[in-house]
Structure 1
Amino acid sequence: MTELTDLPEAGLIANQTLAAFRVVLCNTSHPGNIGSTARAMKTMGLAHLYLVNPKEFPSDTARSLASSADDVLDNAIVVNTLEEALVGTTMQVAMTARRRELVQPLHTPRQLVPELLQEAAGGGTIALVFGNETNGMSIDEVRQCNRLVTIPTNPVYSSLNLAQAVQVLCYELRAALLDDVSHLEERRTLPSHEYMELFYEHLERTLITIGFLRTKNPKRLMPRVRRIVQRAQLDQEEVDMLRGVLRAAVEFERVTPPSQDQKSQPESE
């Protein structure tokens, strides 16, 4: 598992920027959605969770579905009203598909994220507000927010789980800050030039030994083999593995197949 100290500097900066965001869940009825939301947040680097009048919290179900995001749950702030959850914020983003009596423009997450990150960079605090699983946000709750966002889903089936909606918005924030997964790549040790030359020598000797390369008529076999190996861009561990294969090929005990004449002779009775 990658530790926080293993992240590149850009990853640390991204997490610092995302510290300006809080996720607010209003009137959540199922504790499992709280746990799943905590997991969705932590995977994207968000840590501040506010719960407005949850039906059940704390909860073993929430902790189970948090999947090691227990710290997000432990630090969650429980309040009675949305107004309390929005104290200190400079932007309040309502996740909604409602259009009734709403005058603010409706954005997709990708459209709105640049403005949110600019606000965070300027020292602002942003609340990402999500409604109840069944009815979403009420008109009164939406009116307390100064930005509206909706996820563009399949118009014939637009049902999103609460935690899924949180994940989408949190992902768009992180991807806009740092679209980089290089810290997950395997750190390869490339072989030196002389190390590769020893490999080519070993390969050539083996091909001669097993009769694949004829020294009297070598043609262009080895140059072609070199090109194949160079295209593969082997690391040192892979070269060592192939040299082990070459050694095994030479040491393998071969049984000479019977000649055609021997095959045609009947077995002795």
Structure 2
Amino acid sequence: MFIRNQLEILKTIKELKSKLILIDGSLGFVPTMGALHKGHLSLLKSARKENEILVASLFLNPKQFSPDEDFHNYPRNIEKDISIFSDSGVDFVFMPDEDQVYPKGFSTFINNLEGGVFEGEFRDRHFEGVLTVVAKLINIVNPKRIYLGEKDAQQLFLIKKMLEDLNFDVIVRPVETIRESNGLACSSRNSYFSRKEFVDAGNIYQSLLKVCTLWKEGENDSSRLKQEFQKNLEKLDDMEIQYVEIVDPDTFKIINSLKNIKKSILIVAVIFKGIRLIDNIILD
């Protein structure tokens, strides 16, 4: 039985594997890119409850950022992140340098045909980078369970599909989206907003709720539901809607009519005050 003494930070694959091979017990894994927030805390809490050993990774994956995105400006606060990991009961943090994950000559990437739509349409090769790093981290850590947030709905779908298609022996535990007091989904990028912008960004979730209400009142036409979302955000300055779609959670195919549909997901991506945000709401 594993008894935790204190958090250990491991920077190489060899170091991590040499520790884990000596330990018996169920292992939970929470992959992160750092800049931890309340959403990450929920993942860690869920993993800590269910497993004897908890491993988290802290790796800002350059392969999932396209050239015009904010990789170099992405929030970083390693000292704060380590403190959060420790307080959350993490046993081991895997914090590799880029050359550990992508050594010289690395050229193999995982892709999925469904990764070119929605997020993939606006973020070139994003999911290629996500799927590849998640596959590598699972192979390195060898967890029984991996914990992923439901906020990134398409990412969650694609990771589950990859694990199924490639016969990974790992259980996916989706964790409910954690929100700020105004409904804005927790995100590392929320720190970019001024106080007023942060408050106004809460209208995204309020608009999702209005669509949900309209659907519960009997509206089944997807185009009308999407129009309701757009209408509610028109009043905000500097708000650009990149996509609004209703999809099947099991296939991520677009649904045009919700008649006789038991469960669907409304997925959205917007740019507000120059900050790109995604969110979703389940219609069931």
**TM-score, normalised by the number of residues in structure 1:** 0.26
Higher strand share: 2
Determine which structure has greater relative contact order: mean sequence separation of CA pairs < 8 Å that are 6+ residues apart, divided by chain length.
Answer: 1
Larger Rg: 1
Higher helix share: 1
